[in-house]
């Protein structure tokens, strides 16, 4: 349903600036759109999260379906003062109106539950597979000065001071924008600071350079970042590339693709 999809995209911040502007204009004049937005926000706030994500999802979905099946079968109006059956007017038209309302509400709740389940599952996948990169000092770089700064950045990374590492790596990239080493360690540092968008930018840069010594690891961490940010399509593309190659991550990528099917 288009309105439901647009509300979810708006709440999640996935709209372009222009789409957001147009949506907010429509939100002012459309009462139904406002109802959808309020309903989805209320559902998200009321959901209980636990470790048994699949069971929770199925139970909530089943309860929702049973509730609206009951509405259609009895023609009751939930929330009315008397909860009496609605029998005024054309009974067939009234049944259709109730059925339509039930379908809309069911689609809204299903969409929110499915999205929440997917996001939580992706978080679990990321947590299970992500390991902090085992760093080592850099032996060779284009410039001796860059080598010293890069080693300093790696030391900060090893000490879990990721912002200090990023600051050092920024200096290298300013003087040598094509330093794949600096981009790689900056991507790793951004993962640790939970800035996955910038991590993706750095790993993508490395992959686009071709034949970099960091490409194999960059591909894997890029795929994990896509999973963490719920970009499932991009994650599948990245994992398929890894699975088609002969890198250390080949089997892991193949196994993960099967789980994501």
Per-residue confidence band for 134, with pLDDT thresholds at 50, 70 and 90: confident
Residues 39 and 108 sit within 8 Å (Cβ to Cβ): yes
Range of lowest pLDDT (100-104, 158-162, 187-191, 196-200): 100-104
When pLDDT is averaged across residues 61-78 and rounded to a whole number, the result is: 51
- Residue 210's pLDDT band, with cuts at 50, 70 and 90, is confident
How do residues 212-234 score in pLDDT, each as one tens digit? Answer: 789 999 999 999 999 999 888 89
What band does 106 get if pLDDT is binned at 50, 70 and 90?
Answer: low
Q: How many CB atoms lie within 10 A of CB 120?
A: 17
Mean pLDDT of all residues belonging to the chain:
76
- Domains contained in the chain, CATH given: 144-260 (1.25.40.10)
What pLDDT does 175 receive?
A: 92
Q: Is residue 146 very low, low, confident or very high in pLDDT (cuts 50, 70, 90)?
A: low
Higher-confidence position of 103 and 251: 251
In the predicted model, is pLDDT for residue 84 greater than 80?
A: no
Read off φ and ψ for residue 195, nearest 5 degrees. Answer: -100, 75
Residue 77 has pLDDT above 70, yes or no: no
Question: What pLDDT is recorded for position 258?
Answer: 86
Least confident of 12-21, 146-155, 156-165: 12-21
């Amino acid at each position: 349903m288009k309105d439901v999809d647009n509300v979810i995209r708006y709440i999640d911040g996935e709209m372009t600036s222009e789409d957001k502007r147009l949506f907010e204009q429509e939100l002012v004049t459309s009462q139904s759109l406002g109802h959808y937005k309020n309903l989805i926000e209320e559902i998200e706030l009321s959901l209980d999260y636990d470790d048994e994500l699949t069971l929770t999802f199925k139970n909530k979905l089943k309860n929702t379906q049973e509730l609206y099946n009951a509405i259609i079968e009895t023609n009751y109006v939930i929330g009315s003062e008397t909860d009496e059956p609605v029998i005024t007017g054309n009974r067939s038209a009234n049944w259709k109106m109730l059925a339509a309302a039930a379908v809309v509400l069911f689609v809204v709740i299903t969409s929110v539950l499915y999205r929440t389940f997917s996001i939580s599952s992706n978080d679990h996948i990321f947590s299970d597979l992500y390991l902090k990169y085992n760093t080592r000092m850099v032996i060779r770089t284009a410039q001796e000065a860059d080598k010293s700064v890069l080693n300093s950045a790696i030391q900060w990374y090893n000490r879990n001071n990721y912002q200090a590492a990023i600051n050092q790596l920024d200096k290298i990239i300013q003087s040598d924008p094509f330093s794949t080493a600096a981009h790689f360690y900056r991507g790793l540092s951004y993962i640790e600071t939970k800035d996955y968008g910038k991590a993706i930018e750095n790993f993508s840069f490395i992959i686009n350079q071709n034949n970099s010594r960091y490409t194999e690891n960059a591909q894997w961490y890029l795929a994990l970042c896509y999973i963490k940010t719920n970009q499932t399509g991009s994650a599948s593309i990245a994992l398929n590339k890894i699975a088609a190659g002969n890198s250390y991550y080949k089997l892991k990528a193949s196994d993960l693709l099967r789980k994501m099917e």
